[in-house]
Chains A and B, each alone.
Chain A
């Protein structure tokens, strides 16, 4: 029997999808050994209100740390807290997310515990006493099976590779105290600039519509946004050609040097499909490509390709998606 730790990420007091993914992943690991899932959430006063949600995704115990110093992402204090929890709880495995926050946090915790860390994990297994994970290397052109010898074993999962699944547990909530004074961290987030409120982002959305240079101008991204809006559960992404030209912020970039996404549906619009772009999206479940060049490499990975002009196809597709959504 082994208990599993899951870090439950939040932003602005709201649980992120990443948290449901880590809890779901931890649940499957715990079930394979008959152990419990203990999730940790931290935030300003009231954050323990999110415990019920974590419980419904399979956390047996939710440790909640409420402190004004946790209102914004507080890397140093959170890392101290995670390390202390993991030490005390004697967990066999600790699961983080490979989100912007998880990428920052997980290696800090690993260093404090003196153990190794693997990020961007796409599969994981606890078999007897062996923890092995799959981790794409060389921009996803090769897949490594990695043995994590340390105990506890720490890893961070790629967003989208685990589908959050309800698995209700009583979800006992326990308040925990920060280690030291969270307000004394040397690194302070002074401002959080959010896209549009209520909009889904690349780590949250089950559908991603990504635009490339084929859109010609920043203004034409409106077509991509309209399609995303028609879906209602879609985020907008972009290629490096687009972020380099400043049409979209760098945080929208998908690929080798940008975000790694794995949504249920990825629609590539006016994107050639360079290897560096594929590196960030080829594990998506279903890929659709719209490109006027029938020889564009994106068609090699697209489940469904339409050869055509984005300016002609997108408005019609947006209309059709709105219709399809309405009839549901």
Chain B
């Protein structure tokens, strides 16, 4: 089984972001970066399938500047076999442009499965995996929270609003991973050492035409300062009054 996993380098979101001078990007100074959580779950899913099959190869792919090699190394230290760095000056905001480059790399690679995360929290679009699937003509199942692969076929569970879907599909396929599929392993010390020696090939990314671009960034409007209206059950009548007369939601 030959499996690819696409991993994105993303900033830790637990900070206050600052808009850069150009007005259309964020100031990266002081930010911490790591593999997107969804992509760590995607790597885990790929590794589990390989381990279960007892053979195969897991290839980690990341697009961006040289620093995304750290993200690839993270996947290698978890257990992926080799890495491919698709080199670009920056990671474009347009997911379809990213997808073109990843698709060009995957197209003739003979992969049985390609894993993506459901979403990256920075650009927050959730489109790259699906667009890649269309471009390489693979079946595609998104937001998967349970997965079984056997005999060239797959069965997955998808979470919908207030419902779940069971989906059956044929391989080769693209899977985008939702939370809940697994818990990602931590790289062991041995894994981290081994990762340094694993092959990591770097080549220029064949980015697609950018059709979506950021024109401006702004901070979200502050919500009016929160108001505590009272304590305990005694505050309920006041809440009811405010909900019906002020907020008009009753």
Does A172 lie at the interface of the complex (its beta carbon under 8 Å from any beta carbon of B)? no
Task: Tell me the complex Cα distance, A275–B230, Å.
Answer: 24
Q: Which of B16, B160, B163, B220 sits near A140, CB closer than 8 Å?
A: B220
Q: Are B161 and A100 in contact (CB under 8 A)?
A: yes
Known: A148-B212, A203-B161. A190 touches B168 (CB 8 A): yes
Q: Are A300 and B226 in contact (CB under 8 A)?
A: yes
Residue on A nearest B15 in the bound complex, by CB: A141
Does B250 lie at the interface of the complex (its beta carbon under 8 Å from any beta carbon of A)? yes
Task: Tell me the complex Cα distance, A186–B233, Å.
Answer: 55
Shortest CB distance A230–B (Å): 11
Residue on A nearest B14 in the bound complex, by CB: A275
Task: Tell me the complex Cα distance, A136–B161, Å.
Answer: 21
Q: Which of B162, B170, B213, B250 sits near A147, CB closer than 8 Å?
A: B213
Residue on A nearest B176 in the bound complex, by CB: A104
Q: Are B145 and A250 in contact (CB under 8 A)?
A: yes
Q: Which of B141, B219, B236, B250 sits near A316, CB closer than 8 Å?
A: B236
Q: Which of B139, B143, B217, B227 sits near A103, CB closer than 8 Å?
A: B143
Interface residue total, chain B, C-beta cutoff 8 A: 84
Q: Which of A136, A142, A258 sits near B179, CB closer than 8 Å?
A: A258
A residues in contact with B211, CB < 8 Å: 115-116, 148-150
Does A99 lie at the interface of the complex (its beta carbon under 8 Å from any beta carbon of B)? yes
Residue on B nearest A141 in the bound complex, by CB: B17
Interface flags for A292-328 (1: CB within 8 Å of B; 0: not) read 0010000111111111110011001100110011001
Classify the interface of chain A: helix, strand, loop or mixed.
mixed
Interface set, chain A 235-289, CB cutoff 8 A to B? 235, 240, 243, 249-251, 253, 256-259, 264-265, 275-276, 282, 285-289
Q: Which of B123, B169, B213, B224 sits near A137, CB closer than 8 Å?
A: B123
Task: Tell me the complex Cα distance, A312–B180, Å.
Answer: 33
Pick from A51-59, A173-181, A192-200 the stretch touching chain B.
A192-200
Q: Are A143 and B94 in contact (CB under 8 A)?
A: no
Known: A111-B131, A305-B226. A144 touches B243 (CB 8 A): no
Interface flags for B193-218 (1: CB within 8 Å of A; 0: not) read 00000000000000000111111111
Q: Are A306 and B228 in contact (CB under 8 A)?
A: yes
Q: Are A146 and B214 in contact (CB under 8 A)?
A: yes
A residues in contact with B212, CB < 8 Å: 116-118, 146-150
Q: Are A142 and B217 in contact (CB under 8 A)?
A: yes
Task: Tell me the complex Cα distance, A185–B25, Å.
Answer: 40
Q: Can you sample 24 A-B contacts with CB below 8 Å?
A: A76-B139, A100-B159, A104-B158, A116-B212, A117-B131, A118-B212, A139-B124, A141-B17, A142-B217, A144-B93, A146-B93, A150-B212, A188-B169, A202-B161, A204-B162, A249-B164, A251-B164, A259-B161, A265-B249, A302-B226, A304-B242, A306-B236, A313-B236, A317-B239
- In order of increasing CB-CB distance, the 4 nearest A-B pairs are A201-B162, A111-B134, A116-B211, A116-B212
| A residues with CB within 8 A of B | 11, 72-73, 75-76, 79, 99-101, 103-104, 106-108, 110-112, 115-120, 132, 135-150, 186-195, 199-204, 206-207, 235, 240, 243, 249-251, 253, 256-259, 264-265, 275-276, 282, 285-289, 294, 299-309, 312-313, 316-317, 320-321, 324-325, 328
